[in-house]
Amino acid sequence: SQKIEQNSEALNIQEGKTATLTCNYTNYSPAYLQWYRQDPGRGPVFLLLIRENEKEKRKERLKVTFDTTLKQSLFHITASQPADSATYLCALAPYGGATNKLIFGTGTLLAVQP
């Protein structure tokens, strides 16, 4: 069956360290994969998109990698800050295209301690 798995347990790290979140998927061949941030009581906010032919994407303190052989994406936040505390969602577009529905993982709760 098709599945997207993220670290089910909360990730606690110290301020200034690098947070690494994992997204694994099975039985999909996505054209691209996205990462979203969600705060309590709010909708997901788009962070980064990485395509199947890209290995790595960066935006400020964020970095995403995409390994289609391992069927895995890693999401890194460097020099983490308490304000980075939130739930981070991995989402993939199963069929490609700009008008595609998204399939979400359950999310990983990140807590950055000051």
Partner 1 sequence: EAGVTQFPSHSVIEKGQTVTLRCDPISGHDNLYWYRRVMGKEIKFLLHFVKESKQDESGMPNNRFLAERTGGTYSTLKVQPAELEDSGVYFCASSWLAGGGEQYFGPGTRLTVT
Q: Are 75 and 23 in contact (CB under 8 A)?
A: yes
Q: How far is it, in rounded angstroms, from Cα 12 to Cα 1?
A: 31
How many residues at the interface with partner 1, by CB under 8 A? 24
Residues 14-43 that bind partner 1 (CB under 8 A): 32, 34, 36, 41-43
Does 108 bind partner 1 (CB under 8 A)? Our answer is: no
Instruction: List the one residue from 7, 107, 108, 110 that touches partner 1 (CB under 8 A).
Output: 107
Q: What is the DSSP string of 39-53?
A: -TTS--EEEEEEETT
Residue numbers at the binding site for partner 1 (CB under 8 A): 4, 32, 34, 36, 41-46, 49, 89, 93, 97-107
